[in-house]
Amino acid sequence: MSVEPAPAHEVAADPSAAPVKNDFIRQIVREDVASGKHAAIRTRFPPEPNGYLHIGHAKAICLDFGIAGEFGGRCNLRFDDTNPAKEDPEYVEAIQEDVRWLGFDWAELRHASDYFDVFYLAAQKLIRQGDAFVCDLSAEEVRAYRGNLTEPGRNSPYRDRSVEENLDLFARMRAGEFADGARTLRAKIDMASGNINLRDPALYRIKKVAHQNTGDAWPIYPMYDFAHSLSDSCEGITHSLCTLEFEDHRPLYDWCVAKVDLPNSPELLAPLLAKGYPNEAAIPRQIEFSRANLNYTVMSKRKLMVLVQEKLVDGWDDPRMPTLQGIRRRGYTPASLRLWAERLGVSKQNSVIDYSVLEGCLREDLDAAAARRMAVIDPLKLVITNLDDAHEESLHFANHPKDERFGARQIPFSNQLWIEREDFEEVPPKGYKRLIPGGEVRLRGAGILRCDEVIKDEAGQIVELRGTLDPESRPGMAGADRKIKGTIHWVSARHAVAAEVRLYDRLFDVAAPDDDSDGKTYQDHLNPNSRTTTTGYVEPSAAQAAPETAFQFERVGYFVADRYDHSAERPVFNRSVTLRDTWAAKA
């Protein structure tokens, strides 16, 4: 009886069973818990809904949700939807799907737009305190006034407007009276600060664009630093984890949190409470960690968008893309990505991770979690001449050599087989251990075969092999003990199912495609061999598998039934990863 295994990602171990992790962020959290600073830990994962998540986000997701889970806390999923011109509900849906696919769920689904009324009241408070002003400088003029790393900036000529004038102008900005870009609300901090982020940064800009959640209600939108810090404060986030590029923004984050002081300003939270949200306001702490940089790829949303828009790939879920949708379709599993994130660790040191580390995590997961099947992707006909044309039987095979829980299956066997073309050499190289003219090889689970004849077409190409099977050499028989150097796999030509096989490789052919020092762009480094498609043959039980079922095709590699295109009638398999690192020798 055939026992069909679950897809690999369902067999994977529960991430909560992982050993205790130690890193500088978890140490901070432990100390905060031990000291009683926080009764409960709260984190958040705050993606912008302006594109698809990529593999770098997987590390952040595992960290944000992982820490909340490890310390009995809660993690929110919060969409930073403050730039409606670039946002789309398609991205929102995909992000939610990605988080759940990785094995996590959120305590609450929030949006920065949930807090727009709070942000507006907070901005008015800053104006009344003398901490913010309406500025009429254009974007170009603001840059000219800002200074640089060696020269201080200059105060805006509008910096000393009265509180009353600023409140009036800001209200008129809110009412939609002014054109896009005509005015901004800026924080009043220090134009001579060594940290350029503190040189009177913008808090609000005029942008008359409809928002996916709030419609046309707002002609002004908060800037990222202002919205992000106050969103964290509204949600009672205890540890706001972000990547190192935000380290220089932390003083501004802290400034916004301290100056607005939501925990002690209940009047600012009134719109939130009126909508039924609880009062959770707190003072969050921002902590930065290094992002996951992977060689042989690019992870800029802008560059990935270009690849999609210029049709250099087949979409955001192209299996060559580093998006979570793409690598999921490629056959990467949640368990392999959680393992990868764990092996990367958490540090303050930026580094580039070798792609082989990611591939190694997938191999490790699938070696344990993927059932075995036989498939031939470059077929060569083999006819066994001492078996009758009507010969047909079923051979018993384990689904996994190391795990009896996977059960077993029957594979049809006949006198006509498909074998891999590379498993035969007419003139073998030194050390070749597979089939040669007059030589013997072990057919996996079927016995020992001798090659007697090579059939070629008019062009001299080998089209068929003919040979003899030793009937006393089946596994378990005395004749099977003969020393044979090579074992090859096969499928029955009469019973195998033709399948489209997509052989995927790295999207770029250089380790640093972003490095333009040679005068080339990342597009010039696209790997022309990143995908090849062939027609192969798979044993019947592989064809019947559900989409997203992972297999090890014996001696060939790890493959997955395509998420969208695969069916029993028209099987489509994507190579997830080779059995070994084929790039090591190229390095």
Residue numbers annotated as active site:
48, 291, 301
The pairing of strands 531-538 and 497-504 is antiparallel
- Alpha-carbon distance 448 to 440, whole Å? 7
Query: To which residue do tokens 């004038």 refer?
Result: 165
- Alpha-carbon distance 175 to 220, whole Å? 9
- Alpha-carbon distance 260 to 283, whole Å? 10
- Alpha-carbon distance 410 to 1, whole Å? 7
Contact 82, 49 (CB under 8 A): no
Backbone angles phi, psi at 61, to 5 degrees: -60, -45
DSSP class per residue in 142-203: HHHHH--SSS-----TTTT--HHHHHHHHHHHHTT-S-TTS-EEEE-S-TT-SSGGGSS-EE
Q: Which two tokens stand for residue 366?
A: 């699938």
CB atoms within 10 A of CB 571: 24
CB atoms within 10 A of CB 8: 28
- Alpha-carbon distance 343 to 356, whole Å? 12
Contact 118, 268 (CB under 8 A): yes
Coil, strand, or helix at residue 458?
A: coil
CB atoms within 10 A of CB 545: 22
Q: Which two tokens stand for residue 298?
A: 């690019």
Backbone CA torsion sign across 380, 384, 385, 389: negative
Buried b (16+ CB within 10 A) or exposed e, 361-392: bbbebbeebbbbbbbbbebbebbbeebeeeee
- Alpha-carbon distance 121 to 167, whole Å? 11
The pairing of strands 440-443 and 487-488 is parallel
DSSP class per residue in 298-320: ---HHHHHHHHHTTSSS-TT-TT
Q: Which two tokens stand for residue 230?
A: 């106050």
Looking at residue 546, the DSSP 8-state letter turns out to be: P
- Cβ-based neighbours of 373, under 8 Å, separated by 6 or more: 538, 539, 541, 542, 551, 552, 553, 554
Backbone CA torsion sign across 64, 252, 211, 243: negative
Looking at residue 47, the DSSP 8-state letter turns out to be: -
